[in-house]
């Protein structure tokens, strides 16, 4: 890619602008949109040029005339609740995930006007692959193919870059010729990706691209490295910690006792879940000490409220994750301005896309692909 040419993009369902941060300085945001007031304020707080291109409101109310020029990329991190295993699995007909078709209506209009984005990335939860037995993923691929896009998918876990377990689907579609150098094997072509491909009808499978991309360097950060200093943290009272420990199964309590006996320091993520034991549903607290936080989610109660448990020199303390810790787990810089309320901050972070995953995708596939397109245009 030429240093003198900055690639342009539209960012739909932009949230706090995490895809924009991941794309980086080589890209120019021509348009961004989100309907959530908290996310919209956060976006404006972090990007000085937001007034020039950010539109707050329902994607269904946007018109093609709201989108300037022809972008190199359209990024859509559409609402995922209807695809998530934690949701009702309503699929593409669900109220929130149907927002995808609000986005797609605009893409169809741009194609008709001769302004189709050269590439499209749709990011969502892994449940997209299997929602309604794969019918929803087939519908997405059918929509892309109907407008002349070839496509493929990768399953990228943020844990490859950050101490957070956060697998996500990235469907990368293009209307341009794909260089052989960008096709081949990738560690992000997981079993779920291959099974999703195999479920597609033959005509759609014929348009599939096996996107190539080597795994990033092994991450060296652990959950404990991203935590706030103990002195300023809002710890639970001892009684609350005792209640959480009492909810643990014998296996998890034994793990805590092992860490206490070791006398060092360990930090883990803790969730409350419903389990069936001896035919009876019981609530359990479960902790992981593998250096990873669980998938960061929006704080809407229940198991979505991630708790930290810290064992240090024989003592056990617990507390809720802070907004700034959530931001670090998403790869956001310390300078990123968060809402003051922790619930709002975690709302922005938990609905976002991991910044380093976007950067990897941009460096590995998007920028080489679009640079090749530019060279082909110049030669023509």
Q: Which of the residue ranges 77-91, 112-126, 273-287, 311-325 would you say has the lowest mean pLDDT?
A: 77-91
Pairwise pLDDT comparison (93 vs 36), residue with the higher score:
36
pLDDT at residue 90 is higher than 80: no
Residue pair 342/333 in contact by the 8 Å Cβ criterion: no
Rounded Cα distance between 37 and 60, Å, is: 16
pLDDT of 99 reads 83
pLDDT band at 379 (very low <50, low <70, confident <90, very high): very low
Rounded Cα distance between 40 and 359, Å, is: 22
pLDDT at residue 369 is higher than 50: yes
Rounded Cα distance between 271 and 86, Å, is: 14
Once rounded to an integer, what is the mean pLDDT over residues 13-31?
97
Computed over every residue of the chain, the mean pLDDT equals 90
Tell me which residues are annotated as active site.
80
pLDDT at residue 234 is higher than 50: yes
Once rounded to an integer, what is the mean pLDDT over residues 358-376?
85
Residue pair 345/326 in contact by the 8 Å Cβ criterion: yes
pLDDT of 380 reads 44
pLDDT at residue 1 is higher than 60: no
Q: Which of the residue ranges 162-171, 220-229, 232-241, 265-274 would you say has the lowest mean pLDDT?
A: 265-274
Residue pair 23/87 in contact by the 8 Å Cβ criterion: no
User: How many Å separate Cα 261 from the centre of its chain?
Assistant: 37
Once rounded to an integer, what is the mean pLDDT over residues 33-39?
96
Looking at domain 7-217+352-379, its CATH class is: alpha beta
| Burial tier of 303 (Cβ tally within 10 Å: 0-12, 13-18, 19+) | middle
Give per-residue burial for 140-165: e unless 16+ CB within 10 Å, then b: bbebbbebebbbbbbbbbbbbbbbbb
Rounded Cα distance between 143 and 204, Å, is: 10
Per residue in 322-331, pLDDT tens?
A: 999 999 999 9
pLDDT of 115 reads 97
pLDDT of 255 reads 93
pLDDT of 85 reads 37
Once rounded to an integer, what is the mean pLDDT over residues 348-376?
88
pLDDT of 15 reads 96
Beta-bridged to residue 172, according to DSSP, are 121, 152
pLDDT of 81 reads 56
Pairwise pLDDT comparison (81 vs 269), residue with the higher score:
269
Q: Which of the residue ranges 93-107, 147-161, 294-308 would you say has the lowest mean pLDDT?
A: 294-308
Collect all residues with Cβ–Cβ distance below 8 Å to 1 and sequence separation of at least 6. 7, 26, 367, 368, 370, 371, 374
Q: What are phi and psi of 94, to 5 degrees?
A: -70, 155
pLDDT at residue 246 is higher than 80: yes
Rounded to 10 degrees, the C-alpha dihedral 256/260/261/266 comes to 90
pLDDT band at 97 (very low <50, low <70, confident <90, very high): low
pLDDT of 272 reads 84
User: How many Å separate Cα 295 from the centre of its chain?
Assistant: 10
Helix (H) or strand (E) holding 151: strand 150-157
Domain ranges of the chain: 7-217+352-379, 229-321
Per residue in 120-152, pLDDT tens?
A: 999 999 999 998 899 889 989 999 999 999 999
DSSP string covering 238-285:
HHHHHHHHHTB-HHHHHHHHHHHHH-SEEEEEEEEEEEEETTEEEEEE
User: In Å, what is the CA distance from 281 to each residue of 56, 185, 275, 278, 304?
Assistant: 43, 43, 5, 8, 19
Residue pair 355/332 in contact by the 8 Å Cβ criterion: yes
pLDDT of 300 reads 58
pLDDT band at 91 (very low <50, low <70, confident <90, very high): low
């Amino acid at each position: 890619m030429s240093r003198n040419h900055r690639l342009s993009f539209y960012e739909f369902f932009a949230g706090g602008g995490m895809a924009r941060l991941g794309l980086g300085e080589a890209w120019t945001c021509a348009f961004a949109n989100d309907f959530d007031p908290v996310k919209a304020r956060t976006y404006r707080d972090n990007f000085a040029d937001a007034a020039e291109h950010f539109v707050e409101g329902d994607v269904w109310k946007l018109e093609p005339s709201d989108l300037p020029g022809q972008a190199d990329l359209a990024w859509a991190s559409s609402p995922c609740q209807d695809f998530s295993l934690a949701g009702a699995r309503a699929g593409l007909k669900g109220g929130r995930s149907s927002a995808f078709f609000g986005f797609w209506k605009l893409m169809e209009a741009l194609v008709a006007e001769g302004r189709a984005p050269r590439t499209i990335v749709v990011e969502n939860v892994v449940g997209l692959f299997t929602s309604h037995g794969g019918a929803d993923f087939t519908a997405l691929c059918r929509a892309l193919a109907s407008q002349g896009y070839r496509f493929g998918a990768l399953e990228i876990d943020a844990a490859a870059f950050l101490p957070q377990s956060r697998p996500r689907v990235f469907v990368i579609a293009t209307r341009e010729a794909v260089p052989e150098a960008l096709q081949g094997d990738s560690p992000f072509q997981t079993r779920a990706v291959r099974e999703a491909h195999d479920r597609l009808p033959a005509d759609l499978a014929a348009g599939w691209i096996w996107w190539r991309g080597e795994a990033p360097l092994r991450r060296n950060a652990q959950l404990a490295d991203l935590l706030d200093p103990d002195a300023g943290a809002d710890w639970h009272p001892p009684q609350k910690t005792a209640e959480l420990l009492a909810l643990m199964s014998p296996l998890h309590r034994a793990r805590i006792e092992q860490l206490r006996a070791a006398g060092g320091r360990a930090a883990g993520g803790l969730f409350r879940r419903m389990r069936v034991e001896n035919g009876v549903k019981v609530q359990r607290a479960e902790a992981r000490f593998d250096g990873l936080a669980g998938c960061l989610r929006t704080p809407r109660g229940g198991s979505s409220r991630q708790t930290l448990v810290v064992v240090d020199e024989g003592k056990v303390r617990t507390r809720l994750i802070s907004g700034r810790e959530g931001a670090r787990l998403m790869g956001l810089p310390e300078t990123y301005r968060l809402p003051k309320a922790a619930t709002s901050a975690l709302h922005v972070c938990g609905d976002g896309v991991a910044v380093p995953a976007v950067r990897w995708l941009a460096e590995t596939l998007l920028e080489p692909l679009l640079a090749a397109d530019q060279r082909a245009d110049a030669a023509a």
